[in-house]
Amino acid sequence: MMIEAQRIDYQTAIATICEQSRPGQRVISLPIARAGGMVLAEEVTSDVDMPAFDRAAMDGFAFRHADAATQEGAGEFSIVTTIAAGSNAASGISLGARECVKIMTGAMVPTDADTVIPVEQTSGYAEHGAQVTFHAIPPAGDNVAPKGQDLRDGQIVLSAGALLHAQEIAMLASVGRSQVLVYAGPQIAFAATGDELREPGEPLVVGCIRNSNAYCLETQILNARAEPHSLGILRDRADELRAKIATGLKRDILILSGGVSMGELDLIPQILEELGVRLFFRKLRVRPGQPTVFGVRPEGCAAEGDATPSPCPTLVFGLPGNPISTLFAFDQYVAPAIRIFRHHPRSLAPRYRGELAEPARKKKRSKDFLMLIACRAEWHTDKFLLTPLRTHGSADIFATRGANAIGYLPAGIQVAEAGTMIEFQHLYEP
């Protein structure tokens, strides 16, 4: 049953969205260079020991520590040859008494050697056959990374469900993986609604505005590792809206910007219900973004005039048409559903606390609402400082230049003075 007259609070809205969201089951193979930010869908094991051989950890000289065990202080060694990283020459080298090899970081240590002394602790590099003086003998085994120290052949490197950052991509490359299986992001149909909208590049007729919201949404969808599918501009005509929305309901998620408030031409909620969408709420105790709609078209439900039942549930978000409202609403309500679909290890972006650098005020009518404010968050010494960005209202997208965070002013307060600690979330947390 749709909650219409009653405004619900922010936490209830988030909990409802998370309860209705489901992990997706599609798995795709990607080149590892394109898999950053995705969630692993397979177990990955190592195909080699790491390192694959005893490896020099410093530039210097490799030697047999027993040759220096009886010497005090400086020791004299003869240089036999040089081993560079990538050379397999070490396998054929046999060291005599008090012999050593020049060796570079990452090179294979000869079988007869067990210790590397850094060149800085010696008399320096010299020609083959020359003598080198070791000023201080290091402990046995120093500066040698033994074979298999980091990883063993067959050992699990990453488990399914791991979020792939740059370091995990490096791990995949190190164990020979050029492709990897990951969970696909949701396919998201999206559109902005309204007869007043014109595309960038088209003549701007008096009384019309440019379609900025669709481009904002597409950018946010891509940043969230999902797949955008534009429905174009939806005009304020019931038949056109119904047809386009029915098409959008065939995707995993449908996002509509505009047409969800209480105006005569705000037709979206009614049409969604006609097409089999169960609406959970359409008003929040949050500003901007009070008239936000969330619903689900259940699995197996066929839209009006569509003989093909939906193979899986479709989540539906109706976002207010003002640009800041759309920007914030995606980040707060749509992004958690995307994370859950992608098997992200956390469904909600992390929250932080920061100190207001300037006062933040609500309008009188907003005192009892949670207020979302665009902020610039910067780390200063031992804390985040939040600078609220002043806007002329939720249509003033230009005021968000430089914003990298959303601050939360709790319900019940009119003014938060400078120095007040409030919660905030970074924008665009994938």
Distance CA 185, CA 331 (A): 16
User: How much is the average pLDDT of 194-204?
Assistant: 88
**Which CATH superfamily is 55-145 part of?**
Molybdopterin biosynthesis moea protein, domain 3. (2.170.190.11)
Amino acid at 351: R
Which pTM does this prediction carry?
0.89
What single-letter DSSP state applies at residue 180?
E
Q: Which tens digit of pLDDT belongs to each residue from 338-376?
A: 999 999 999 999 999 999 999 999 988 999 999 999 999
CATH 3.40.50.2000 fits 28-49+155-183, yes or no: no
Q: Which tens digit of pLDDT belongs to each residue from 231-257?
A: 999 988 889 999 999 999 999 999 999
Among 32-41, 73-82, 132-141, the range of highest mean pLDDT: 32-41
Residue 2's alpha-carbon distances to 6, 190, 301, in angstroms, are 10, 22, 18
Boundaries of CATH 2.170.190.11 in the chain? 55-145
Distance CA 424, CA 410 (A): 11
Boundaries of CATH 2.40.340.10 in the chain? 352-426
The HSE-up count of residue 54 (CA atoms within 13 Å, CB side) is: 17
Boundaries of CATH 3.40.980.10 in the chain? 10-26+185-341
**150 Cβ partners below 8 Å, 6+ apart?**
50, 51
Boundaries of CATH 3.90.105.10 in the chain? 28-49+155-183
User: How much is the average pLDDT of 46-50?
Assistant: 95
Least Cα distance to 275 among 247, 317, 234, 233 occurs for 247
Distance CA 371, CA 380 (A): 25
In b/e form, how buried is each residue of 211-247, taking b as 16+ CB within 10 angstroms?
A: bbbbebbeebbebbbbebbbbebbebeeeebbebbbb
How would you classify the pairing of strands 415-416 and 286-287? Answer: unpaired
Which long-range CB contacts under 8 A does 90-99 form with residues at least 24 apart? 90/53, 95/63, 95/64, 97/67, 98/63, 98/67, 98/68, 99/63, 99/67
Residue 355's alpha-carbon distances to 164, 376, 422, in angstroms, are 32, 11, 6
Amino acid at 53: F
pLDDT band at 262 (very low <50, low <70, confident <90, very high): low
Q: Alpha-carbon dihedral of residues 386, 391, 395, 397, nearest 10 degrees?
A: -60
User: How much is the average pLDDT of 58-78?
Assistant: 85
In b/e form, how buried is each residue of 100-135, taking b as 16+ CB within 10 angstroms?
A: bbbbbeebbbbebbbbbbebeebeeeeeeeeebebe
CATH 3.40.980.10 fits 10-26+185-341, yes or no: yes
> For position 31, what pLDDT does the model report?
98
Question: Which one of 3.90.220.20, 3.40.50.80, 3.40.50.2020, 2.40.340.10 gives the CATH number of domain 352-426?
Answer: 2.40.340.10
